[in-house]
Each structure stands twice: as C-alpha cells, then as structure tokens.
Amino acid sequence: MPETQGVPVVQDQSQSVALNEIVNSTTNGSPVPVIDYEGSGYRRDFWEGQGREYEDATERLALRRLLPSSGRRIAEIGAGFGRLADLYLGYEQIVLFDYSRTLLQDAVQQWGQDPRFVFVAGNIYQLPLASGVLDTLVMVRVMHHLADVPQALAQLRRVVRPGHVAVLEYANKRNLKALLRWMLGRQSWSPLSSEPVEFVALNFDFHPDWMAEQTARAGFRCQERLAVSHFRLPSLKRRVPAEKLATLDGLLFRPGGHFPLSPSVFVRAVVQGEEAADSPKVTELGVAELFRCPTCGTEPLSQVEPELVSCPQCGRRYQRHRQIWDFKEPVP
C-alpha cells in the first residue's frame, strides 16, 4: 500500500486516497462535507502490521519536540483510535475528539479505565468544546481531510486559551516526490502553486505558504515549523529500523522546516490574545462546562444527569453513551 495520511488506498497521486464513505454534513447543519471513518478499520488497515512503524515513530518524535509535556487540559482533535494518546499522559485531563464513534470506541477500549480521559464525538466545524477551555491542542493527519480549513482553524483557535499552544500537522503539496513527478510530467498539478490540491475527494495537500497565511489569519502565531517524514520510501524503511530512521529524520526537522520538502509538516502555534488568568483546576470544572452546544453555540452547557447535558438556550440534550459524549446528534 502506498504511503498515506488516511485509510485504505488504491492509488498514489501524492500521498493518499481514502475510500471511506463521504457524508455531506448539511444534515448536521453545516454545508461542509466531512469524511466518514464510521465503521472503518483504520487501526488494523492502516497502522497495525502495515509497515508504518517509521511514520509513527517520527511523528511521535516531532510531537515530543513541540508539545508542552504537561498542563491542565489537552485535546486531540481527530484523535481516531487514540494512537498518540500516551504522549498526553502528563496532563490532568485528556480530551479525545473525533467524528467517528467507531474509532472512539477503540480509544475507549484502550484508555477508558483512566479517569483523565474524556471521549467526545462531533464535527470540527461545530466543535462542541467551550471557548478557551484547552491549555494545549493537537491535530495530526486531519487537516488533510478538511474542505474548509479557515472555518476549522477558527474553531481550533476559539477553544485554546490565548498564549497557549496548538500543534497542527498538515500534508505538504510541495514535497520532493510531487516536485519530481511534476517535473517529469507525471502529475498535472503544480506543487509550487499556493492553492490546496484535492487530488481525490476530501484528500487535500497544502502549500506551506498558504497554510502559514491561514493560521496567521485565524489568530495563531507560528513559533516553530518542522519538516517531518522525509524517508517514506518502502525500500529504505525495509532496510533501516524505524527508530533509527526517525532519529535521522529528526536531524532534518528544523533545517527542513525553513523550506519544507517533506510530505508532512508540523507547526507549533501560539494563540494570540490577552492571556487570561490560570484555567480552573480540572476538579473545579464540571463536565458540562467543557462543552458548547454545536447547534446554537451556547456555552457552557448544564448537567442534567450524570450522563446527560443540555443547552440552556435551545434546550437540546446530548448524552454520554458507552463512555462517549455524543455531539453528532442531540437526544431525540
């Protein structure tokens, strides 16, 4: 299978081609289409035993370099099955957010016994987290699927406290492989033009300059940029142990970050704005105060029952089912 950001793949124009069913989330009140990993075997089909130990190792190395190792509350947006969740164990509370309930169920199986974890299902475009509730935000291998990056970035910025950090990963259209293919006439789109390329439905690669402009517009200040995953070559990956290859990649992270030619780019960005007082301790905040109504935007919500929160404005109720707070649909 070719190297990808996503799930099952049939061809390799640049990085990935996901075969998941695509839903149009107009049904959820947003006109932006969303890729649907519901029912997908992402963990087994893409990661486990699929020869991606190097990608996993080098992404972990990048995150260790960029993430504050501890704090009150961290959220991973588009966390999938919680592949990277062990990196967040220095935090008092860990929110794993994803559109796919199936993948979140996988995460519950692994992390559900740990009371620090909160599992939340919803759509990034109507992010059901309250404003400024996070000390740190992470998003890896998700931008790649976003049809409306500015709208998503506005939501991400809203939920992080000013002065605090978001680590954002995106797929780089100006990667070495795309450049070579284009120069040889084997690829129609130019890796040098700034607009995003959707090479297959809901699979986008982005130009680093375009992404820098979008993050700045959304109110993020870029502190550091790393070029990651230079060695996604099956022949190399077969010969060199994953950890060693990741260590070599790590030597290129910073120099490469000045002019990324790698397929993946990690950015550490600080949310601009006046720094508020220290966030309330995790024990001082009820679970309903973590949330915002995805339909009308009211926050915080009110706790009705241990497994039920409601919106004081529109009255919609959202429940926790099998450990997952479900904001994809209100309770009928």
Question: Which residues sit at the interface with ligand SAM, rule CB under 6 A?
Answer: 5-6, 34-35, 37, 78-80, 83, 98-100, 103, 123-125, 140-142, 145
Q: At its nearest, how many Å lie between ligand SAM and the CB of residue 226?
A: 16
CB neighbour list of residue 257: distance below 8 Å, 6 or more residues apart: 224, 225, 226, 227, 265
User: Which residue intervals of 79-175 are DSSP H helices?
Assistant: 101-111, 149-159
Indicate the residue among 12 and 162 with the shorter CB distance to ligand SAM: 12
Q: Are 144 and 5 in contact (CB under 8 A)?
A: yes
Indicate the residue among 129 and 140 with the shorter CB distance to ligand SAM: 140
Q: At its nearest, how many Å lie between ligand SAM and the CB of residue 281?
A: 28
User: How far apart, in whole angstroms, are the C-alpha atoms of residue 304 and residue 311?
Assistant: 10
Q: At its nearest, how many Å lie between ligand SAM and the CB of residue 49?
A: 15
Taking Cα atoms as reference points, which of 294, 149, 147 lies closest to residue 220? 149
Indicate the residue among 44 and 221 with the shorter CB distance to ligand SAM: 44
Identify the three-state secondary structure at position 320. strand
Which residue's Cβ has the minimum distance to ligand SAM? Answer: 80
Q: At its nearest, how many Å lie between ligand SAM and the CB of residue 80?
A: 3
| Tokens read off for 238 | 């077969």
Indicate the residue among 25 and 93 with the shorter CB distance to ligand SAM: 25
Residue 275: CB atoms within 10 A of its CB come to 10
Indicate the residue among 128 and 257 with the shorter CB distance to ligand SAM: 128
Looking at the DSSP bridge assignments, the partners of residue 291 are 129
Q: At its nearest, how many Å lie between ligand SAM and the CB of residue 37?
A: 4
